Structure 1
């Protein structure tokens, strides 16, 4: 098997915007940013928010409602559908810029609701017909991402002259140290692996993209997008080298996702991945990981979880958002929410 890891220094940034469509309320309940650094920063915020490599994170982080997950997950509570509704309440972009490149750090703050729909009686036939209880838990998270911008023209208008060149994984979550995501491995059908153990220093190249294009336009463009074919040779930036990691997958392709977790609980944790959603939440899927191994290391348990995913049948830039929660957050109605999140950008061609 091949292994590719990539590291870089000081890139950072952004994510999503609140769009108004026909005067309607934003479908993700996302507010306008409360803090921006300058008029120049606002321009770069606009550039990033128009990039589907960036803005596809939020519709997979904000699941809007409880989503179906079969299985008896709690002691006396049997969750049937679980989801989270996330509201972006603030974001700030820190920008460092020279004549040809710019890097930024985006820190986003979300208010969330974990929604658990289930029953206190063990279902026997047709789990979806036995929902008699809905539990809502409020929580707050902070998510950080880094982004590299590249200058491509000299018109004097930053929104035209600059583009998103590369994006890191998003990472963050609530306070607390009961659970941590320490590593992700993406394995393609041919055995190629991408190993990620530092989400904010691991970058994926954005490639060519148009703003707010539909699936057909995206598919036609991908045919000519020769800057994103597989894993290219690395190059150096400053003191740190990094690879042009151009993670893309064919339509309907199986991908194995492996997650390494450190948890204080000996019991299986609640690890899920939500993926495939576009700007307005279409085609969103949610899967629960399977525990494959667990070994105690001091006060923690190092656990390996796996799940096989299938890419969607249309070309697009997307995110797969991994959420890790301790067992009792879902099992115990009185346990407050602790959650850790990594968001993985990828492309389907």
Structure 2
């Protein structure tokens, strides 16, 4: 079951207070060395909970026909689409809070081709053309790293908490404003500030704060977006992808309400059977990005870490 928003936020805030309270920011005695930065970088890159967000972004080709997209409308022209990642550039910004706590902002610039398999014939269900558009996105995630004493008595860096992923195209005309998860018992967890909402990782089965589900559990996901145009946009979610790119699934959301430039989309998701650490990547893409073969791409993406027991 997904844990309460308030319980894990309280846990993270308490942990930060306890860690930061030992050493004031003005009393840093050992500036972060290049060696420490490299160690922290490797820890972040090797963490499954973080690594699966990168893999989830690369569709490898435009999506195959058995993906669960449903139907957008009768006059649909794009039939399948997806990113083909060509280049990923990583940057790390280190904020040393004190001698035992560092907040790392991981910035990934992803250059891709957006492949759109579609048709210029209204009502046709078989693609007869593939449109390729350049796509450049920047994604950010914050990672809290702490130095703790290990079983052998040595102090080593370890991941304390991770934020959600937030990114998309520069000056996008569509922006995700909120996501909400509704559980079978009616509890709702909302996210409105992805880079400042942290989840406490750990070993599988002992994750404090990371959204946790049972296999086959039903979850309703709601996404609120702000759009620059009155057209119906496209919101979907990629999930279930492990660090090797297997088990990729995608679900199309349906528009349930619209008030001016604010749109709300919903989808009912059934949690997959394979267990482990994952990132659910929610994509909001403007209608013209897919329906206009010459318009630039506008997309907003949030990534939510979760675990399946």
Normalised by the length of structure 1, the TM-score is 0.74
Structure 1 partner of 2:92: 93
Cα 1:70–1:80 change in 2 (3 A) is farther
- Aligned to 1:55, the other structure's residue is in SS state helix
Counting only pairs closer than 5 Å after superposition, residues 63-102 of structure 1 correspond to structure 2 as 63-67=59-63, 68=65, 69-71=69-71, 78-97=77-96, 98-102=98-102
Moved over 6 A (4+): 155-158
Deviations 1:25-70 (A, max 9, x none): xxxxxxxxxxxx9332121111011111111101111121212434
- Report whether the alignment pairs 1:141 with 2:137: yes
Structure 1 partner of 2:116: 116
Cα 1:72–1:99 change in 2 (3 A) is closer
Aligned to 1:38, which of 34, 39, 53? 34
Deviation at 1:95, TM superposition (A): 1.8
1:156 and 1:91 map into 2 onto residues whose CA distance is 33
Check the 8 A contact 1:88/1:108 in 2, yes or no.
Answer: no
1:321 and 1:204 map into 2 onto residues whose CA distance is 16
Counting only pairs closer than 5 Å after superposition, residues 62-211 of structure 1 correspond to structure 2 as 62-67=58-63, 68=65, 69-71=69-71, 78-97=77-96, 98-123=98-123, 127=125, 130-153=126-149, 161-208=156-203
- Report whether the alignment pairs 1:281 with 2:234: no
| Structure 2 alignment gaps of length 5 or more | 17-32
Deviation at 1:89, TM superposition (A): 2.8
Deviations 1:146-186 (A, max 9, x none): 0112333357987xx22212110010111124211110111
1:277 and 1:295 map into 2 onto residues whose CA distance is 34
Aligned to 1:313, which of 262, 273, 295? 273
Cα 1:118–1:157 change in 2 (3 A) is farther
Check the 8 A contact 1:72/1:78 in 2, yes or no.
Answer: no
2:87 and 2:48 map into 1 onto residues whose CA distance is 18
2:154 and 2:274 map into 1 onto residues whose CA distance is 33
Check the 8 A contact 1:82/1:117 in 2, yes or no.
Answer: yes
| Structure 1 alignment gaps of length 5 or more | 12-36, 209-220, 229-244
Cα 1:136–1:70 change in 2 (3 A) is farther
> Once superposed, what is the RMSD of the aligned Cα atoms?
2.5
The alignment covers a number of residue pairs equal to: 280
Aligned to 2:300, which of 318, 331, 340? 340
Deviation at 1:73, TM superposition (A): 5.5
Cα 1:74–1:181 change in 2 (3 A) is farther
1:269 and 1:163 map into 2 onto residues whose CA distance is 40
- Report whether the alignment pairs 1:247 with 2:211: yes
Deviation at 1:329, TM superposition (A): 0.6
Normalised by the length of structure 2, the TM-score is 0.83
Cα 1:92–1:70 change in 2 (3 A) is same
Of 184-193 and 61-70, deviating more is 61-70
Cα 1:197–1:103 change in 2 (3 A) is same
Check the 8 A contact 1:274/1:322 in 2, yes or no.
Answer: yes
